[in-house]
Amino acid sequence: MRLSQFHLATVKEVPADAEIASHRLMLRAGMIRRLASGLYTWTPLGLRVLRKVEQVVREEMNRAGAIELLMPAVQPKELWEESGRWDKFGDQLLKIRDRKDQEFCFGPTHEEVITDFARNELKSYKQLPVNFYQIQTKFRDEIRPRFGVMRAREFLMKDAYSFHLSSESLADTYGAMYQAYSRIFNRLGLTFRAVQADTGAIGGNASHEFQVLADSGEDAIAFSDGSDYAANIEKAEALASSAARPAPHAELKRVDTPTQKTIAQVSAFLGVSPRQCIKTLLVRGRDGLVALCLRGDHEINEVKVSKLPELSGEPVLASEEEILAATNTRPGFIGPVGLPADIPVIVDRDAAALADFVCGGNADGTHYTGANWERDARVSRVEDIRQVVEGDRSPDGHGSLHIARGIEVGHIFQLGPKYAQALDATVLDDQGKSQVMMMGCYGIGVSRIVAAAIEQSHDEAGIIWPEAMAPWRVAVCIINPKHSPEVRDAAEALYRKLEQHGIETVLDDRGLRPGQMFADLELIGIPHRVVVSERGMAAGTLEYRNRGESDNRAITEDELFTLLA
């Protein structure tokens, strides 16, 4: 490609709401242009990168035996009513009406459509297992679209859906997808981890997320230094303390804490460690309020809490009025000692191992010291309800946990019979009996990968593409083309030769000054830059610069080809 014939449009200024590097750099490099909130045009430059990612994904899906198809983006309401998700999916679902006033949604995902396809196409166990995939535009009306294409409303996803007669067959394909995903992210040059993921409302079965490690990631992941255990922090189990709870020692005493409400204030005021305090949260349960007790230095894990039978989904903190009505006490002074008997007290494993602790006094302006479970405070149940922290023991018993930030670029899931059951997608087994199919689903955020790669690899000057994602591998620069036709010819010849060797090359023939030209090429992240100049031609060399290095090297053309081989 000749840059003079391309639409390269780098920009200097980016809007202040471009908070993270990838968002800023994609705008500056001119890879994307914002149309409206969460909606982006992929420019010719951006699209070259997006297509590279798509191609790697496609090749590896094909290699793993998946079969490509393409489903409509617009999906009829009736299908979503069959699965029960028309109402359940929530506000992320963009609902639309046609001229006949019929309702549709713009697909945020395709379980319904593929299951409908499968129930019509698949009749016999002999057609199974089968794995269909597509690479297609999704729409999700995200609450907070941000970070450019990282969390957009319209984005490109690869979604695959497999169908099986047995859960063993599902587990096999799941394993094959796990391998395929690992190959994809390795080929794309990303540093990633596959982590155990929460299975959400569907429950039960296996699920992994593929997380690209980056400080700007929205997810936290916990991984062990002594094994290959890794999990989304939502899912990571906090083991019970191995030491037995000490016997009560201190006497229960009510102390005045007139204005001290938070753990930090109370522990500083009383001169005790937050680890020795109990934090009590009152949340709305199915039948009235529920108390959750944690050690003062720990945080609640909302996903774990949402699974408690006393709750009906995500925890919602009780309002000040509700707390007052139930306990006659203001928030900040609530504790497990003397709570009304109709409030269940769910105690975290570590909190349950404390003796002689500090907790709210259930009377305004007071706390207790020397409190003890059973003796002073009721325990309805001990549960794992906290977030793991750096240094916790790994749940598999090997090593300790570290926390890192990640960007979720892929998610694989054993759905089981959920959708097939709802939509009555069955096949005949070898006995001629009708069986509901088992399903797996496997997503990759194709457009998000582009941003994630930049988060992982950039510097002040711009993007540093992994080779497999670069818009072009090599840039050949012509310095002073008007001044020296020989230089121009030599650069043209080198460009043609590189292309003939199948090396994707861009010829910077825009006639810019070197400084401007190099700044653009660094910003857009071309891995290899070669300058043809009069001086170099006289010496029989090219001036070579690798995007990841800070110095030029004089190399011969042969050396260049060896380096690119």
The binding site for ligand ATP (CB under 6 A) comprises 109, 140, 142, 151-152, 155, 157, 408-411, 443, 445, 447-448
Q: Cβ closer to ligand ATP: 156 or 353?
A: 156
Smallest gap from residue 561 Cβ to ligand ATP (A): 37
Interstrand relation of 103-106 and 74-76 (parallel, antiparallel or unpaired): antiparallel
Residue 415 token pair = 């759905």
**Contact partner, 261, from Mg ion, ligand ATP, none, Cβ < 5-8 Å per class:** none
Q: Cβ closer to Mg ion: 153 or 411?
A: 411
Interstrand relation of 230-232 and 288-295 (parallel, antiparallel or unpaired): unpaired
Please count the residues of this chain forming the interface with Mg ion, following the rule CB under 5 A.
1
Separation between Cα atoms, residue 565 and residue 551, nearest integer Å: 21
Smallest gap from residue 386 Cβ to Mg ion (A): 22
Interstrand relation of 130-139 and 67-68 (parallel, antiparallel or unpaired): parallel
Smallest gap from residue 410 Cβ to Mg ion (A): 9
Tokens 């995500």, residue located: 314
* Residue 23 is a binding residue for Mg ion (CB under 5 A): no
Smallest gap from residue 445 Cβ to ligand ATP (A): 2
- Do 381 and 212 touch, CB atoms closer than 8 A? no
Give the three-state DSSP class for 223. Answer: strand
* Residue 138 is a binding residue for Mg ion (CB under 5 A): no
C-alpha 122 chain-centroid distance? 33
- Do 563 and 555 touch, CB atoms closer than 8 A? yes
Smallest gap from residue 392 Cβ to Mg ion (A): 24
**Contact partner, 386, from Mg ion, ligand ATP, none, Cβ < 5-8 Å per class:** none
Separation between Cα atoms, residue 528 and residue 520, nearest integer Å: 13
Strands (E), 296-400: 345-348, 357-360, 366-371, 381-383
- Do 437 and 417 touch, CB atoms closer than 8 A? yes
Separation between Cα atoms, residue 233 and residue 195, nearest integer Å: 9
Q: Cβ closer to Mg ion: 304 or 411?
A: 411
**Contact partner, 157, from ligand ATP, Mg ion, none, Cβ < 5-8 Å per class:** ligand ATP
* Residue 411 is a binding residue for Mg ion (CB under 5 A): yes
**Contact partner, 452, from Mg ion, ligand ATP, none, Cβ < 5-8 Å per class:** none
Main-chain phi, psi angles of 248, to 5 degrees: -60, 140
**79: alpha, beta or left, given left = phi > 0 and alpha = psi -120 to 50?**
alpha
- Do 490 and 477 touch, CB atoms closer than 8 A? no
What track of x and - describes contact with Mg ion for positions 363 through 402 (by CB under 5 A)?
----------------------------------------
Residue 377 token pair = 């405070």
Beta bridge partners of 317: 283
Give the three-state DSSP class for 294. Answer: strand
Smallest gap from residue 209 Cβ to Mg ion (A): 6
Smallest gap from residue 481 Cβ to ligand ATP (A): 41
* Residue 208 is a binding residue for Mg ion (CB under 5 A): no
**Contact partner, 140, from Mg ion, ligand ATP, none, Cβ < 5-8 Å per class:** ligand ATP
Smallest gap from residue 198 Cβ to Mg ion (A): 9
Q: Cβ closer to ligand ATP: 152 or 371?
A: 152
Separation between Cα atoms, residue 540 and residue 560, nearest integer Å: 12
Stretch that binds Mg ion, among 269-277, 335-343, 369-377, 404-412 (CB under 5 A): 404-412
Q: Cβ closer to Mg ion: 411 or 458?
A: 411
**Contact partner, 531, from Mg ion, ligand ATP, none, Cβ < 5-8 Å per class:** none
Q: Cβ closer to ligand ATP: 140 or 235?
A: 140
Q: Cβ closer to Mg ion: 157 or 354?
A: 157
Q: Cβ closer to Mg ion: 158 or 261?
A: 158
Smallest gap from residue 140 Cβ to ligand ATP (A): 5
Residue among 378, 374, 339, 371 at smallest CA distance from 357: 371
Q: Which residues have C-beta within 8 Å of that of residue 545, sequence separation ≥ 6?
A: 528, 529, 531, 551, 552, 553
Q: Cβ closer to ligand ATP: 131 or 505?
A: 131
Q: Which residues bind Mg ion (CB under 5 A)?
A: 411
